[in-house]
Amino acid sequence: MTQIVRGVAQLRRITQGWRRAGDLVGVVPTMGALHDGHLSLVRAAQAECDRVIVTLFINPRQFNNPEDFAKYPRTEAADAAILAPLSADVLFVPDAAEIYPPGHVSAVTVGGVSGPLEGAHRPGHFDGVATVVAMLFNMTQADRAYFGEKDWQQLQVVRRMVADLQMPVQVVPCPSVRDPDGLAMSSRNQRLSAAARAQAATIPAVLFDAAGRIGAGGDVAQVLDAARARLEGAGLGPVEYLALRDAETLGEAQPGRGARLLLAVWLDGVRLIDNVAV
Ligand SMILES: Nc1ncnc2c1ncn2[C@@H]1O[C@H](COP(=O)(O)OP(=O)(O)OP(=O)(O)O)[C@@H](O)[C@H]1O
Ligand SMILES: CC(C)(CO)[C@@H](O)C(=O)[O-]
Ligand code: BAL
């Protein structure tokens, strides 16, 4: 059975017991509205760790858009039910006052990798993510932390933070879980109308096609222009970015280094992101 924990002091008592017993602890940070993508992270953690903590906190500091924060799904009871068959050890559901008590003014900024793409279009977003993830690592004292590749830039920001600040946690990347039509699962998909949800299948189709063409030596600018036109032709847009980047630094793609094709696009008033390897 999964124990629901709301306070940091209670969480610490539990994890201290685990550590005394020599257990390896994994954490899966989430903002709830759980789907199979999240569950794949929990399963990966359970396969490698003795104890698994799933965290559910809709972090106000990472939302640059108040409407996005207001509309973010809040489904704790359903989340607990979806998680139940997996029997994670703890579901940590702090309220905002537990994470940000009055007087809380500290923040973590990760330079470089936080700057472009999501960082440029969602000012302050990665400061909010880095701050809360650093706090979740401190609160859970986890040995391993599981993040989805769907949020590729976030994964690189967290890796950079852990390396730069010598945090004693191993970041484990997990592949994007997709619906049968290829759309990456995301809590925000719930907000699409049925018609828009059908249109959204164009996103992975265009991304995988463009990545294949670039990988085969196609001209990057031409391939990206055609991909953008195909998205807009299918009724998606605006495209906030569609860019080939260095997979680790998110700077310019470099010959001989891993590259990633990343996209943010609006559809039906919902902002969706995805990325694929090149
Ligand atoms: N389709 C997916 N496959 C694998 N991991 C995923 C997927 N979707 C989300 N995750 C991962 O789950 C963790 C929690 O993400 P989050 O709760 O923000 O879910 P989400 O579905 O990405 O929601 P949204 O994008 O709408 O904020 C992150 O590490 C994220 O990368
Ligand atoms: C990592 C995270 C839980 C931090 O709030 C969030 O950004 C998310 O759900 O990906
Ligand atoms: N899934 C990343 C968290 C966010 O969009 O705010």
Q: Given ligand 3 and candidates 57, 65, 114, 125, which is best to mutate, with the most ligand atoms within 8 Å of its CB?
A: 125
Torsional sign, CA 170, 27, 115, 106: negative
Report yes or no for ipTM above 0.90: yes
Please state which of the four CATH numbers 3.40.190.10, 3.40.50.620, 3.40.50.280, 3.30.450.90 is assigned to the domain occupying 3-174.
3.40.50.620
Three-state secondary-structure class, residue 147? strand
Torsional sign, CA 73, 267, 179, 222: negative
Give residue 149's pLDDT. 99
Residue 148 alpha carbon to ligand 1 centre in Å: 6
Domain residue ranges of the chain, discontinuous segments joined by + = 3-174, 187-277
Angle between helices 8-20 and 125-140 in degrees, nearest 10: 50
Those residues whose C-beta lies under 8 Å from the C-beta of residue 84, and which sit 6 or more positions away, are 1, 2
* 139-172: b (≥16 Cβ within 10 Å) or e: bbbbbbbbbbbbbbbbbbbbbbbbeeeebebebb
Give residue 41's pLDDT. 98
Q: Just list the catalytic residues.
A: 38
Give residue 123's pLDDT. 97
Any residues with Cβ below 6 Å from ligand 1, and which? Answer: 30-31, 37-38, 40-41, 147-148, 150-151, 174, 176-177, 184-188
Residue 223 alpha carbon to ligand 2 centre in Å: 32
* CA atoms within a 13 Å half-sphere pointing along the CA-CB vector of 186: 20
Is 252 exposed, middle or buried (CB count within 10 Å of its CB: 0-12, 13-18, 19+)? exposed
Count CB neighbours of 51 within 10 A: 23
> What's the rounded Cα separation, in Å, for the pair 208 and 197?
18
The answer to whether 146 and 41 have CB atoms below 8 angstroms apart is yes
Q: Taking the model in full, what pTM does it have?
A: 0.98
Residue 246 alpha carbon to ligand 2 centre in Å: 22
Any residues with Cβ below 6 Å from ligand 3, and which? Answer: 62, 151, 154
Decide if 3-174 and 187-277 have a common fold. no
The answer to whether 257 and 247 have CB atoms below 8 angstroms apart is yes
Ligand nearest the Cα atom of residue 94: 2
Those residues whose C-beta lies under 8 Å from the C-beta of residue 224, and which sit 6 or more positions away, are 210, 242, 243, 244
pLDDT tens sequence for the chain (278 residues)? 899 999 999 999 999 999 999 999 999 999 999 999 999 999 999 999 999 999 999 999 999 999 999 999 999 999 999 999 999 999 999 999 999 999 999 999 999 999 999 999 999 999 999 999 999 999 999 999 999 999 999 999 999 999 999 999 999 999 999 999 999 999 999 999 999 999 999 999 999 999 999 999 999 999 999 999 999 999 999 999 999 999 999 999 999 999 999 999 999 999 999 999 99
Those residues whose C-beta lies under 8 Å from the C-beta of residue 82, and which sit 6 or more positions away, are 34, 35, 39
Which residue's C-alpha comes closest to atom 14 of ligand 1?
A: 30
Give residue 60's pLDDT. 98
Ligand nearest the Cα atom of residue 59: 2
| Domain boundaries 187-277, CATH class | alpha beta
| In the chain, alpha helices (H) | 8-20, 36-48, 66-71, 76-83, 96-99, 118-121, 125-140, 152-164, 194-199, 202-215, 220-233
